[in-house]
A and B are shown apart, each in its own frame.
Chain A
Amino acid sequence: MNSMGRIQATLSGQPLDRRAFAPVLGLYGARLTHCPLEQYYTDPAAYARGQSAVRETFQPDVLCAPLAFASIGAAFGSELVFLDTLPPNLRRPAIQSVEQWDSIVFPDPDIHPQLLYFRDVIRRMAAEHRGEVPIAMVIPIPADIPAVIMGLETWLEIVLFDPAGAQRVMDTIVPFYVRLVNGFFAAGATFVVMPCGFASPAIVTREIVTNFTRPILAKVLAQLRGPVVLHNVGAPLLAHLDLLTGLPAVVGFIVDQRDDLAQARCVAGPDNVLFGGLDCANIGQLTAAEVEDRCRAILEERRQDARFVLGTSGPDVAWNTPPENIHAMRKAAESFGKIDT
């Protein structure tokens, strides 16, 4: 069974040869190939080479396209800063208030180089690993996109205190977002992972999720041409997980290290895939033996769960994580051999 078969079997709850193992190693490819990050996050060939190295080194069951949210903001005019050991970040958002929204020029996903970068990466990765390893594209949910255009504080203020303004912004974001993500599927993304900032219990209230985030998400998901996994965005998700179930196109959830996996399974229902594992920031702080022990404990707890995948929570596995710690995760997954349903 190869990685594609393993993930497909997990999705459909079929027997597995072993647990699937899906850490987020987008950034780590640059470390493996000694590629400067400005090149890595602007040159599709450089990124694809990094992911080939990730596959060769760790044999994960999912490969990730760039997790570089700020680059989406840059397509709208936000100023980027390239860092030595992190994905690019926003130096300055494109606008500072909702009044400036109408002056924003929407980038064309078929033409804009910043957006074509993502699509080209996916195309290259799909061509190289097609049928063997699933390719996941990671992009924040639609309600998070304005934060990379106007900054989190401005967007939070609009969502909280100017509901009409927030709706006006989202009315223009939705068609753009649908086109962008369907372009990712057309390029070869197997599934899309969506970190849910404006659905996270750490960030917004249940009322905001219910009345704002979820209706927009439902509208978008109904128009997408591929499966979607919703992601914890680096904070516990369980308290809002019930608000994210029953949405079209969603096939799974990546929960946080601090979430109770058994409870998450109850809320997510039996048919969704549940990804769980150690937090990206913590993996590098542990010894390889500790990583393996903790992953084994997680896998032991989910032994009867046919639709569980050992992943990581949070963003990318950190740059300074020793490779032996990532090998330790894989070793733990491999030790949980044949899984019958």
Chain B
Amino acid sequence: MTIQQALIEKIRLADRPGANALLDAWATEHGYERLLAEILDPTLILIGEEWRSSETFTLAQVYVAAKVTEDVLNKIVDLRKPSPADQLPKGPVVIGNIEEDFHALGRRMVGTFLRTDGWIVHDLGNDVPAAEFVDKAQAVGARVIGVSAMMMTTARHITRVREEIDRRGLTGRIQLAVGGAVFRICPGLDAEVGGNGTAPDALGAADLFDRLWKQSVRKEAVA
């Protein structure tokens, strides 16, 4: 059994201490820097793929994966003080739940997985008005705003973020990522509310943000 398979098994069993022990043992030999890229990231991709294709993973197990990821990140922070020179962040992004939406768990997991992937995440929390998302994105220079909604009714409020982006002349420059349980039930809803893209789950957020960031750069270059 490879270490990735062993890690997936620990996460499947919701065995956080076991997963950490496994990763610590590997890191002792190879270093925590390599752990993220060589073990944790590929494992999270595998878990995401399996979750999407077979729905055999539960929210609890993905939550365990997020906590194990947080544990590893904390250890890396403890072991070394990163300087701007040795860390190349991908860029600032803004996330939050749309106004009237209070289902924080998915958004918080997205934040964890984005940070793991190198993004500087500005998490605005729950119940965020459309203008606040765009204000923050402009203030920090974010090219991607990620908006979460769990219910159909709150998902429709995301159109206000789209309108706010367009009204300020930021169409294309700021890309709108949307996600949440309702987007899994209703295919096409992401486009309907004005999103530039969605991911099926928190584990897919990093890829989505990568794609949308590049899209923003391309559109700005063309403009």
Residues of chain A having any CB pair with chain B under 8 Å = 81, 83-86, 89-91, 151-153, 156-157, 159-161, 200-205, 207-208, 234, 236, 239, 279, 281-282, 284-285, 315, 318-320
Contacts and interface: CB of A to CB of B under 8 A. Distances in A.
A155 to B, nearest CB: 10
A208 B60 contact: yes
Contact of A86 (B14, B63, B67, B151): B151
Contact of B152 (A151, A202, A205, A318): A318
A200 B60 CA distance: 10
B196 interface: no
B16 interface: yes
B186 interface: yes
Contacts of A234: 181
B78 interface: no
Interface residues of B, number: 29
Given A202-B55, A203-B58, A156 B105 contact: yes
A313 to B, nearest CB: 10
Interface in B10-56: 12-14, 16, 55
B100 A83 contact: yes
B216 interface: no
A157 B67 CA distance: 9
Contacts of A284: 152
A279 B151 CA distance: 12
B181 A205 contact: no
B136 interface: no
Interface in B168-182: 181-182
B105 A86 contact: no
B185 A281 contact: yes
A86 B60 contact: no
A152 B181 CA distance: 15
Contacts of B55: 201-202, 236, 239
B105 to A, nearest CB: 5
B79 interface: no
A81 B60 contact: no
Contact of A281 (B12, B16, B182): B182
Contact of B63 (A81, A90, A160, A320): A160
Contacts of A86: 100, 151, 153-154
Closest 8 CB pairs of A and B: A281-B152, A203-B59, A89-B102, A204-B60, A85-B153, A83-B100, A153-B105, A86-B153
Contact of A205 (B61, B126, B151): B61
Nearest to A257: B185
B115 interface: no
Given A160-B63, A236-B55, 16 more contacts: A83-B100, A86-B153, A86-B154, A91-B102, A153-B63, A153-B105, A156-B59, A160-B14, A160-B60, A201-B55, A202-B55, A204-B58, A204-B60, A208-B14, A284-B152, A320-B152
B40 to A, nearest CB: 19
Contact of A320 (B60, B126, B153, B185): B153
Given A86-B153, A86-B154, A282 B58 contact: no
B60 A203 contact: yes
A152 B105 contact: yes
Given A203-B58, A203-B60, A153 B108 contact: yes
Interface of B: 12-14, 16, 55, 58-61, 63-64, 67, 100, 102-105, 108, 126-127, 151-154, 156, 181-182, 185-186
A279 B185 contact: yes
B74 to A, nearest CB: 15
A201 B58 contact: yes
17 contacts: A83-B153, A86-B153, A89-B100, A89-B102, A91-B127, A153-B63, A156-B60, A159-B60, A202-B58, A203-B58, A204-B59, A205-B60, A207-B14, A236-B55, A279-B185, A281-B151, A318-B151
A102 B184 CA distance: 38
Nearest to B16: A161
Contacts of B61: 205
Given A86-B100, A285-B186, A320-B153, A160 B16 contact: yes
Contacts of B100: 81, 83-84, 86, 89
Contacts of B127: 81, 91
Nearest to A206: B58
Contacts of B16: 160-161
Which of A86, A236, A281 has the largest number of chain B CB atoms within 10 A?
A281
Given A86-B151, A202-B55, A81 B102 contact: yes
B60 A318 contact: no
A6 B63 CA distance: 43
A145 B100 CA distance: 22
A153 to B, nearest CB: 5
A160 B58 CA distance: 12
Which of A90, A91, A205 has the largest number of chain B CB atoms within 10 A?
A205
A239 B102 CA distance: 28
Contacts of B14: 160, 205, 207-208
Given A156-B63, A203-B60, A318 B102 contact: no
